[in-house]
Structure 1
């Protein structure tokens, strides 16, 4: 370390908001910390929680971030309080409503006491809304009290479950409701596939950004059929496909996104996802109005993708794949079982996204059915999705999950239906299995039919009618 550089310290900051646009306030606080040279290294998920102590107030959004800073504890406190004031916080009632709250939980392993500040935070071990997100980041570490041998995760498990239970919250856009991946009564989102390609495995050549009238009709039909997300792709990633090039992909997708956002008021409440592994395409798509970056490679095929996703602030779908579309069918060895190995490889991509600056609450996961998988692998992932969601691999809890089984090759093999567009019935079974397993989004071609499947499956498995 440079002798002239101040030493760096690891700290954990809890944040919360229950006034105004709660998520935007928290993200603004993170940006302000970065501007103040407090580097946000990792974040927890966001949780919607009931108020504690003062009960007559709106629910909070809470979370925790790990930061790196050269500031002393008191200087860090002063900086955080300055950020709170700058973001409009007015403290009128102790533990009452607040636009933003930033509390220092830990600072290295130090015990620090001052009339304005105590580290570790004196109340954190009694607060589920602090321990739950903190346990995502450092589950097996221990509070720095003398003789203390209980981990943060063990402390969390010792608390009585709060009522109502905290709900993991993944924002999409200001005009689209957040995904609540742990809410038992949530609806499944139907993501409609809109391929603007001549060579996609199922619907290549059907749609084009050059015919805006036809595009309008297609998108309108998808929305009326029940789609809540439109996933737009300009390059096929089917097994063995060849890349088309960045310029051509941009030409295909950006005009379509811009048209939907500027000329289709009925699409105002629908999220747009850009299906691409190229950073420049993702950035241009978000600038044109896309809300979600759906990367089949989870950042592996373009090293600029994850930093770009972080810079745009868009929610990103990280899908599991090995190799590229030309090589992935040969990369299907899972020595520890497909669920364990896919989970561990996805966890590594989550870590890469966090290192690039993507907030954990901006990540959706996809196990990648049909990508570097054979039929038994696809079936195992459909069957065992609950294991991925609930802790078979530590570190994947609380994420939303997308499943994309529509018209896949394994459906054709099982049913004997060779024409992909005729695999509707088999796809219906896989969509039902996905919803039973806890999927938050299903990506489909046959929107009208799969909306009906989803509606009934939601009623059966989630009690949503």
Structure 2
């Protein structure tokens, strides 16, 4: 019996199959297996039809014995480096991800996108770099051919080695295989010396080890052993074509002011003030918010205060869509701000984005509508995933955090991030919100404000995300100050905004825009240095 070749860590193993094993067709062997074997190994493969013995990889054997279609190829996990420093860098990377999906290369997870200084050829613009985990049936060379065809289709022109490029797609890892060919080496030969590769890769598989014989170091260990890059790469989150990206790891980043614009009659502090039927009043209000310093306007058509009852989908649509459309088409000052839709309903989110919204802000992080996460992915917009338990009517009873508020909220948010990624939402489009006042009591809210930095750096899997804090006029402020009327809690809110900025928030969601812009301006000068 001939030897059976398994291309994994250069090991060769012999497998014997029973007479009732399901075997690959000749076309599958010729098209899928032989092209990916080293030339010196092809002679070891027996293709004698009718024999009870066949030679192919362990993955193929398991697939066929499990009863799969003989022509169904096994699936492989690969990691692809993403890079661009020409033109609209993020747009180009997102187009490449879509093209991979069209080519049946499933993008399962992505890293953040880091803005990095060029390496090797220094006289060129900064790059956006990231990594994605993909699932594919393609062999290594087939995958390489497909990625190169995507690069060409997107207009890549390679003029200088390691020079400027509109899109760059490199295979870093393919399963745990070592693959050597004149066109491709896996693992990528230079990946362990490149911060701009290891940094995003460590967001996905920090504790895994490269398939290099004789070593037992993790990717995170390799990253930590590199000299600190200068300048340090910055994680970026792209929220709107109207604004520069959030730079969540830049210590000098400014805090964004998100203005609350409720078009509901029953919001806890400003219900009934703004209605879609009164467009002149809406115009005046939006202009004043922008003048006061708002860079994002968050529009809500249903109250989510504790104990509130939901309105119907049709009513919510009737409240918010005319408002968004009017802001986008009739208020020139709004050309330089982002619009956020505050909703947990997928249809409202989708129609709001079609009307001009840039951000989907879901208090439930996709738990109240099963179509929300797929809708978020389909729109390609930035999303805010907030921590909440239950519904607005039940959340006040769901306040048990046995492992501590940071650990439990962090763990639950990490699960929502995983669900978002599984739905196709890119990590570089996600903003997190710990959900002050939602399934939290006053000690919980104060602990979050006190320990926000722990969410940012102390919960594995949540590093590099931007954070939104929404402390404005919250009930715990009234309890602490004795101010019962929510609209009069400005001073208490100012303290919470300062604490949020000290803890590292990127966005504060507020009612009193003029006052909180001033608070943020001073707090930024103190803490963002």
The two structures have a TM-score, normalised by structure 2, of: 0.87
Alignment of 1:36-435 (within 5 A): 36-390=103-457, 392-435=458-501
- C-alpha distance in 2 between matches for 1:209 and 1:30: 38
Gap runs ≥5 in structure 1: none
Taking the aligned partners of 2:226 and 2:411, their CA distance within structure 1 comes to 29
Distance 1:254 1:142 in 2: 50
Q: Aligned equivalents of 1:213 and 1:48: distance in 2?
A: 42
Structure number with greater Rg is 2
Question: 2:443 & 2:72 partners in 1: Cα distance?
Answer: 54
**1:435-455 per-position Cα deviation (integer Å, ceiling 9, x unaligned):** 000000000000000000000
Q: CA deviation at 1:175?
A: 2.1
Cα distance in 2 for partners of 1:351, 1:148 equals 30
CA distance in 2 between counterparts of 1:177 and 1:265 reads 18
Structure ranking higher on relative contact order (CA contacts 8 Å, 6+ apart):
1
Q: CA deviation at 1:161?
A: 1.0
- Cα deviation, residue 403, structure 1: 0.1
1:425 match: secondary structure: helix
Deviation of 1:5 after TM superposition, in Å, equals 1.3
Q: Name the CA distance, whole Å, in 1 between partners of 2:418 and 2:277.
A: 39
Q: Which runs of 4+ in 1 moved over 3 A?
A: none
Distance in 2, Cα, partners of 1:421 & 1:444: 11
Secondary structure, aligned partner of 1:7: coil
Determine the C-alpha separation between the residues in 2 that align with 1:31 and 1:173: 19
> How far off is 1:219 after superposition?
0.4
Q: How many residues align?
A: 462
C-alpha separation in 1, matches of 2:325 and 2:521: 30
Q: Which runs of 5+ in 2 are unaligned?
A: 1-62
Cα deviation for residue 176 of structure 1 reads: 1.3
* Superposition deviation, residue 98 in structure 1: 0.3
In 1, the alpha carbon distance for the partners of 2:230 and 2:243 equals 26
Q: Distance in 2 between matches of 1:288 and 1:147?
A: 57
Deviations 1:394-448 (A, max 9, x none): 0000000000000000000000000000000000000000000000000000000
**Partners of 2:434 and 2:240 in 1: how far apart?**
24
Match of 2:75 among 2, 5, 8: 8
TM-score (norm 1): 0.99
CA RMSD of aligned residues (A): 0.6
3-state SS, counterpart of residue 336 of structure 2: coil
Give 1:251 shift: 0.2
